Amino acid sequence: MLDVIAANLILQLLIFLLLINLIIFLLKDTKSYSFNTRFRLNFLFKLLSYLVEVLFIFLVFQWIVTTSQFKILFGYKESSVLKRFIDFFTVYQIFIFIVLNLYDSLKKEIFLSLLHQIDFIQPYLEKNKSIHLEIQRMERKASYSERVTKHDDISILENEDYTKFFKYLKEYEKIREEDSKEASDIVSKINDFKIDVLEKKERLDSLWNLSLIARLSLRVFNK
């Protein structure tokens, strides 16, 4: 009986937080607000999203440990809902921390590899040198045979950022001697591209990445 009452209270709180968060989502990027106001609203939105995520998954956990079909396998004798929540939250955060950090580490390896390649090629671009052989060498280094057999890694040639990078390099090599101004523009694009890649890598270190809802909102709303 107490479990049912607790679940209903948590559900009501969850719905309330969702409504508040929806309002904040609609307001948080309003340009008429000052930067500090938008910053606080954005922080509050992410914080409430995280609370919604934890409460929702805890409700699922509550349902599992109190449903007769699952009691044999997932039986939980602790009667205090607060104690049960603390235990759940601890295990959940450890699991999320490990899984998401391992996933992000793979993505960071791609960005690090790309940044090294950009640093390697930039001196050639600054001196307007031919990079035909360097492009071949870098493509080979990013290939399946090089990365998988030597490093037990994945081929990254099909990665969207790598594809864009090599497209810039091939365009540069094609028009390097014919149109120095356009070649210079491509070098500027590569410099801007490097900044974007560096920002993507550093964003992976954000603690907000430990929230599944925050990640989902980035993908869905591109915020």
Instruction: Tell me the pLDDT tens digit for each residue of 113-123.
Output: 889 999 999 99
Residues 162 and 142: beta-carbon distance below 8 Å: yes
Quickly tell me which residue has 């049960």 as its tokens. Answer: 84
pTM equals 0.60
Tell me the pLDDT tens digit for each residue of 179-194. Answer: 778 888 999 999 999 9
The answer to whether 194 and 163 have CB atoms below 8 angstroms apart is no
Q: Are 156 and 113 in contact (CB under 8 A)?
A: yes
